């Protein structure tokens, strides 16, 4: 595959790499949040009736998806540094599209769990490969805008998932997601491999995709861990507060029944705005760290407001979901920071595994939530988990290097 040709000034931010990465992430997010949206109707259709079982089986299925993403994140990341960013970009789209379609045919909980695991494997690769590719093909002063476009367009896929999940049956919603993925594969013509990667690939003495090298050097390990920790509050909000919003609505005395589909859609509406603002402001203010810190503090404010509210109207509850999404909408900057911290020979490995370990953090978070909620209560448990996640993320971002406009054409000594 030829390297990306030098783009003209007019199409520098909207070349095929940016467009395909953005649309791939759009379908990725659609599938990623679709289970949260159709959790209750799909489980009821499969014979799960009690409220306790709906929550228990929902947590198990979500954890299976996230386990797949943890394993897939490592595998796709290594492949991205060894074989190329494009092989991962399109391979992951193909796998999660097949899994999406098969999810529409499930008739048992074990089969549902297996296919959520397979879907997780596929979903693990697209974002990291896309962000790595975009970061390497755009000029260093403009790449923040490129990743902003990818995240902003991509995250809006959740809004479509919300509408589809509400308007159509859960099986049809899965079929639509799979169809969108296969449609996207036809757009792969004209997407070029990163020139930086091609140069490194041609060097016979460079070790690429060595995942274990992230743990063999103390400084590199702590930098990698901090990149993960700064993103955990985003998935605390999505994986706990929004996924289980119907249960929180009951606990908080919301007058009407909270729709998980609408809560997800409103949260992701806020995330779209937040990701655009955080990406734009990080470019204008020339700082990734300060923007992430500001959004973390804002997340803390709205998490507190969400959990301490009572007797809300349904509209005001959904408004809080929008606010939570906006405050935690720094995903674009967070993934860009991960890409900018490490050399070209392990960049795809880092950029693919970091967001998936963040998503995978939902597993211990939900397990802790399940274990503690009966003794502590739903809201106090969520409050403690949120405080811990945000405090650790603040400490992490304060000790990470500022990477705005950093030259990415360098290697890690592994």
pLDDT at position 176: 94
pLDDT at position 13: 62
Indicate the pTM of the whole model: 0.85
pLDDT at position 2: 45
pLDDT at position 225: 96
Share of the chain above pLDDT 70, in %: 95
Residue range 15-191+207-398 in CATH 3.20.20.70: no
pLDDT, mean over the chain: 88
Q: Tell me, rounded to whole angstroms, the distance of Cα 287 from its chain centroid.
A: 22
Q: How large is the average pLDDT for residues 368-391?
A: 92
Highest mean pLDDT among 185-189, 239-243, 392-396: 392-396
CA dist list (Å): 264 to 174, 177, 209, 255, 410: 16, 16, 35, 19, 39
pLDDT at position 4: 47
* C-beta separation of 311 from 363 below 8 A: no
Q: How large is the average pLDDT for residues 374-385?
A: 91
pLDDT at position 349: 92
20 confidence band (pLDDT: 50, 70, 90):
confident
Check whether 287 has a pLDDT greater than 80: yes
| Chain segment 67-78, per-residue pLDDT in tens | 898 899 999 999
390 confidence band (pLDDT: 50, 70, 90):
very high
| Chain segment 97-133, per-residue pLDDT in tens | 999 999 999 999 999 999 999 999 998 888 888 888 8
| Chain segment 257-267, per-residue pLDDT in tens | 898 778 888 99
| Chain segment 173-215, per-residue pLDDT in tens | 999 999 998 888 876 656 777 778 888 877 777 888 889 999 9
Q: What is the 3-state secondary structure (H, E, C) of the chain?
A: CCECCCCCHHHCCCCHHHHHHHHHHHHHHHHHHHHHHHHHHHHHHCCCCCHHHHHHHHHHHHHHHHHHHHHHHHHHHHHHHHCCHHHHHHHHHHHHHHHHHHHCCCCCHHHHHHHHHHHHHHHHHHHHHHHHHHHHHCCCCCHHHHHHHHHHHHHCHHHHHHHHHHHCCHHHHHHHHHHHHHHHHHHHCCCCECHHHHHHHHCCCCCCCCCCHHHHCHHHHHHHHHHHHCCHHHHHHHHHHHCCHHHHHHHCCCCCCCCHHHHHHHHHHHHHHHHHHHHHHHHHCCCCHHHHHHHHHHHHHHHHHHHHCCCCCHHHHHHHHHHHHHHCCCHHHHHHHHHHHCCCCCHHHHHHHHHHHHHHCHHHHHHHHHHHHHHHCHHHHHHHHHHHHHHHHHHHHHCCCCCCCCCCCCCCCC
| Chain segment 140-178, per-residue pLDDT in tens | 888 888 888 998 898 888 888 878 887 888 999 999 999
Q: How large is the average pLDDT for residues 242-270?
A: 87
Lowest model confidence (mean pLDDT) among 7-16, 20-29, 163-172, 261-270 = 7-16
Q: How large is the average pLDDT for residues 45-63?
A: 84
pLDDT at position 9: 40
| Chain segment 290-339, per-residue pLDDT in tens | 999 999 999 999 999 999 998 889 999 999 999 999 999 999 899 999 99
Check whether 10 has a pLDDT greater than 80: no
């Amino acid at each position: 595959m030829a390297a990306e040709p030098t783009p003209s000034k007019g199409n520098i931010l909207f070349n095929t790499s940016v467009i395909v990465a953005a649309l791939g992430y759009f379908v990725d997010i659609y599938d990623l949040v679709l289970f949260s949206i159709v959790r209750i109707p799909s489980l009821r259709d499969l014979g799960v009736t009690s409220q306790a079982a709906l929550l228990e089986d929902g947590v198990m299925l979500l954890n299976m998806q996230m386990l797949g993403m943890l394993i897939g994140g490592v595998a796709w990341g290594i492949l991205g540094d060894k074989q190329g960013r494009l092989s991962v970009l399109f391979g992951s789209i193909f796998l999660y599209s097949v899994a999406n379609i098969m999810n529409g045919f499930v008739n048992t909980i074990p089969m549902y769990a297996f296919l959520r695991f397979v879907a997780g494997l596929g979903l693990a690769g697209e974002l990291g490969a896309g962000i790595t590719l975009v970061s390497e093909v755009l000029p260093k002063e403009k790449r923040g805008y490129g990743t902003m476009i990818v995240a902003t367009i991509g995250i809006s896929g959740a809004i479509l998932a919300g509408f589809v999940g509400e308007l159509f049956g859960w099986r049809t919603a899965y079929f639509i997601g799979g169809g969108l993925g296969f449609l996207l594969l036809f757009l792969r013509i004209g997407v070029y491999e990163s020139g930086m990667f091609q140069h490194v690939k041609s060097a016979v003495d460079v070790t690429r995709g060595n995942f274990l090298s992230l743990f063999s050097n103390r400084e590199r390990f702590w930098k990698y861990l901090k990149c993960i920790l700064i993103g955990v509050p985003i998935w605390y909000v999505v994986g706990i507060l929004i996924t289980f919003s119907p249960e929180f609505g009951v606990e908080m005395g919301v007058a009407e029944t909270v729709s998980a589909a609408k809560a997800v859609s409103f949260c992701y509406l806020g995330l779209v705005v937040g990701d655009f603002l955080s990406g734009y402001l990080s470019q204008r203010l020339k700082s990734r760290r300060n923007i992430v810190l500001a959004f973390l503090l804002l997340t803390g404010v709205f998490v507190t407001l969400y959990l301490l509210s009572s007797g809300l109207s349904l509209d005001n509850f959904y408004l809080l979901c929008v606010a939570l999404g906006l405050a935690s909408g720094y995903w674009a900057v967070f993934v860009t920071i991960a890409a900018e911290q490490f050399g070209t020979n392990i960049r795809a490995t880092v950029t693919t595994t970091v967001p998936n370990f963040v998503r995978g953090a939902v597993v211990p978070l939900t397990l802790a939530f399940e274990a503690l909620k009966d003794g502590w209560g739903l809201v106090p448990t969520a409050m403690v988990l949120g405080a811990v996640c945000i405090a650790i993320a603040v400490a992490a971002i304060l000790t990470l290097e500022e990477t705005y406009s950093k030259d990415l054409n360098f290697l890690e000594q592994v």
